[in-house]
Chain A
Amino acid sequence: MSGAYRHFPILMVTIPFFGAALLPFLAYLRRKAVPWASAFFLAISGGLGTFLVGKIPPGGHLSYPLGGWEPPYGIELRVDFSGYFLMMAVAGISLAAVIYSRRYIEKEVEGGRITAYYVLFLLMSASMMGFVITGDVFNLFVMMEILSISSYALVAVTGNRNAVRAAFKYLLMGAPSSIMVLLGVGLLYSVTGTLNMADLAARVGDTGYREVLIASYAILVLAFMVKAAVFPLHLWLPDAHSIAPSPISAMLSGLVVAVSAFAVARITFSVFTVHAWGLVGTTLEALAVAGAAAVLFGGIMAIYQKDFKMMIAYSTISHMGYVVLGITALNPEGITGAVYHILDHGIAKACLFMCAGNFIYRKGFRKIEQLKGAWREMPWTCFAFSLAAWSIIGLPPSAGFISKWYLVYGSVRAGKVPYAVVLLVGSILAAVYCFRVVYYMFFQPAKEGDWGERLSEAPASMSVPTWALSLATLFFGVFSYLFLDSLLKAAAQLL
């Protein structure tokens, strides 16, 4: 393989790292330039990604041995289509969120911490890109560490008491799960002598250490379940995601938990592979039950929330259940549904949190009741919210419909009709909690003094990313055929 593009995946990951390392000095020279520089580095990263369109062989992958050391001796990046797809999702949503951040963060975060905010933001997005394309389990752990540490800190960045408490709760659940990932990787290494995923896949089948493999798989899945906030390990999520500054809520809810769920897929399909499923079947079934419970629990809890951001956060728990159910269907349709759901849920959820951020920025409103009659003052935000909610519910022609279709189809094909029913019920729950807000926004009279008649939209640097994301939910619904074929092939190749 030749051509400069093969270097692009690693550059996409490391350029934001490099940028993050430059920011403190840039802040010393010119503090105002920091947000622009951050957006610049993420834009380069995403721009390099667009050059890779069509370069990933369908059903195959782009292997990049770092330092030229062939795997398993060195670290390998293994960019298959689903990895690339998610990497671009991360790049796109991060870019929108970083542009959104500039005005919002000025208001919520005290000056001395703004640089740290952008440093952490860059590290968080880049580590997610590395996380989804790495072909090495220890490298997966390293990327997850960067991702986790930056997420904990970003929840606490506003510095108010509740935020610090929520971040600490997140840390208390996140840190043990990081150690569990390390333990699981260590166990795998002790019985195979390798860390490369493809090499592991070849070696787990015929190693004699059944118990160690089962334990390692269970530990890894449990650890990533904490990170992905799969019920009943979701306890940290509602507080952390609702109290964090809105662009960070968007990143955490839209991407961070979702790539952790994707890690479960990586471990299941790229490391343990179909040959080892005999060993880990029980864990997979337990995971599926947890996923189904998450769909229902998250949906029901979301209906009962009074706080707007809290409702969106519970909706995330519900949707992580969807992703898990797609993975545990163990067929190409289910996996495609899961990957596509990570994308469209990420876009729609980021958009919802940005809408919430717009309301908070202009009015400081956090309660759902306070949104009654909001459309008079902020019609654009309200419309963007409705579009994103459309996708969250999963109605055609939005992207949410496509992914839910595949998820249900995958469950039915796997002979797991009860799960398919759960998925549909989850959509009804989503409709209940989303339409309530839409109804309040458009069809309820405003409470005296809450909303006036004058238009007061959020500034353009916040509205434009919000709208871009809400339109993206439509785009990925209408033009889903561009991606689905390659995704199905990539998924089939995993099995």
Chain B
Amino acid sequence: MKRLVSLLFIGALALLLLYVVSKMPPMGEPTNPTMTHVVPRYLEKSEGEAHARNVVTGVIINYRGFDTLGEVTVIYCALAAVLAVLGREKRGRIRDYVELSGIPSSVIVRTMVALVVPFIVLFSLYVILHGEMSPGGGFQGGAVIGASMIIFTTVFGLHLSSVKVPLKVRAALEGSAVITFFLVGIAGILGGGNFLAYAWPRVSQSLQPALVTWLTVLVEVGIGLGGAMVFVSILFAMVREEGADEPLA
């Protein structure tokens, strides 16, 4: 009965929403409000006024930079939420959590991972640094580093990976996305503009394109490093938690 009622309710809601969708502007029409109001300026002028070689990056980092600042804060917040619920590993006690991966890995797997991980990290740096002018950027690159750490931890265990990325490093870099973004924002004020202005009015016109490019790269690197460390810390907190229920050998 309860299920039937909820099913009917969901069905009715879905029909209502479908009706609304049918009344929406047709997908992809060039006359849609979404295509004619704000977007043309981004497409036509972002290269000239925002010095963006990649329009998407221009919108994300520059025009709507504050939203992105908020989004990196959301990611950082997610880490803090995980640590608030699971707790962080205690300093110096990581040795107790040795080899929690449980999957005995063969020499082949170990060798392969040891060989591949440096290249994955190299690739992620490429993704981060190229975000300024091609698809990619800090979020994606940071996720790739995080993934490489997950592979590494699964194969070599938590102890070794926590030696590679010690708590000190993580604690310093977890917030780097928020910190860089904030400092770039403040620099905008000091440069004579508003918060998050990239083309500082106090700098001469001819230098501004280079300035915007470098600041964008800086922000991307901050996002990448911060994102990567957030992934690693979340991973460590979760692996530790999983191991905590098992008797430690």
Binding site for B on A (CB under 8 A): 7, 10-11, 14-15, 17-18, 20-25, 27-28, 64-69, 72-75, 110, 112-113, 115-117, 119-120, 123, 127, 130, 136, 138-139, 142-143, 145-146, 149-150, 152-154, 156-157, 159, 164, 167, 187, 189-195, 203, 207, 209-212, 215
Q: Is the CB of B63 within 8 A of A69?
A: yes
Residues from chain A with a CB closer than 8 A to the CB of B164 are none
Map CB proximity to A onto B85-129 as digits: 1 under 8 Å, 0 otherwise. Answer: 101111000000000000000000000000000000000000000
Residues from chain B with a CB closer than 8 A to the CB of A191 are 24-25, 33
* Whole-angstrom CA separation of A209 from B174 in the bound complex: 45
Q: Is the CB of A193 within 8 A of B34?
A: yes
Q: Is the CB of B33 within 8 A of A207?
A: yes
Q: Which B residue sits closest to A149, measured CB to CB?
A: B77
Our count of residue pairs bridging A and B at CB distance below 8 angstroms stands at 199
- Of B20, B23, B63, B85, the residue contacting A67 (CB under 8 A) is B63
Q: Is the CB of B196 within 8 A of A67?
A: yes
Q: Is the CB of A17 within 8 A of B37?
A: no
Residues from chain A with a CB closer than 8 A to the CB of B84 are 113, 116-117, 120, 153-154, 156-157
Q: Is the CB of B185 within 8 A of A28?
A: no
Q: Which A residue sits closest to B71, measured CB to CB?
A: A142
* Whole-angstrom CA separation of A27 from B85 in the bound complex: 17
Residues from chain A with a CB closer than 8 A to the CB of B210 are none
- Mark the stretch among B133-141, B146-154, B165-173 that contacts chain A: B165-173
Within the complex, what minimum Cβ distance (angstroms) separates A424 from chain B?
35
Q: Is the CB of B171 within 8 A of A27?
A: yes
- Range for the number of chain B residues in contact with chain A: 35 or more
Q: Is the CB of B69 within 8 A of A152?
A: no
* B contact face: mostly helix, strand, loop, or mixed: helix
In the complex with contacts A73-B41, A164-B85, A145-B70 CB distance below 8 A: yes
Residues from chain B with a CB closer than 8 A to the CB of A73 are 38, 41-42, 63
In the complex with contacts A28-B172, A67-B66, A191-B33, A149-B81 CB distance below 8 A: yes
Residues from chain B with a CB closer than 8 A to the CB of A64 are 194-195
20 CB-based A-B contacts, threshold 8 Å: A7-B189, A7-B194, A14-B182, A17-B69, A18-B179, A21-B175, A21-B177, A66-B195, A73-B38, A112-B83, A113-B87, A120-B84, A139-B66, A139-B70, A143-B70, A149-B78, A187-B20, A193-B38, A194-B38, A209-B23
Residues from chain A with a CB closer than 8 A to the CB of B38 are 72-73, 193-195
* Whole-angstrom CA separation of A117 from B87 in the bound complex: 10
* A contact face: mostly helix, strand, loop, or mixed: helix
* Whole-angstrom CA separation of A302 from B80 in the bound complex: 33
- CB-CB contacts below 8 Å: B1-44 with A: 16-17, 19-20, 23-25, 32-39, 41-42
**Does B62 lie at the interface of the complex (its beta carbon under 8 Å from any beta carbon of A)?**
yes
Residues from chain A with a CB closer than 8 A to the CB of B174 are 21, 24
Q: Is the CB of A74 within 8 A of B35?
A: no
Binding site for A on B (CB under 8 A): 16-17, 19-20, 23-25, 32-39, 41-42, 62-67, 69-71, 73-74, 76-78, 80-85, 87-90, 167-168, 170-172, 174-179, 182, 185, 188-189, 193-198
Residues from chain B with a CB closer than 8 A to the CB of A194 are 33, 37-38
Nearest 10 CB-CB pairs, A to B?
Answer: A21-B175, A193-B37, A153-B81, A142-B70, A193-B33, A21-B178, A116-B84, A116-B83, A119-B80, A211-B23
Residues from chain A with a CB closer than 8 A to the CB of B90 are 112
Residues from chain A with a CB closer than 8 A to the CB of B34 are 189-190, 193
Q: Is the CB of A211 within 8 A of B19?
A: yes
Within the complex, what minimum Cβ distance (angstroms) separates A75 from chain B?
5
Within the complex, what minimum Cβ distance (angstroms) separates A453 from chain B?
40
* Whole-angstrom CA separation of A347 from B195 in the bound complex: 31
Q: Is the CB of A28 within 8 A of B70?
A: no
Q: Is the CB of A66 within 8 A of B194?
A: yes
* Whole-angstrom CA separation of A187 from B17 in the bound complex: 11
Having A27-B171, A187-B20, one finds 16 other A-B pairs with CB under 8 Å, namely A10-B66, A17-B178, A20-B76, A67-B195, A74-B64, A75-B64, A112-B83, A123-B80, A143-B70, A149-B78, A150-B77, A164-B85, A191-B33, A195-B38, A209-B24, A215-B16
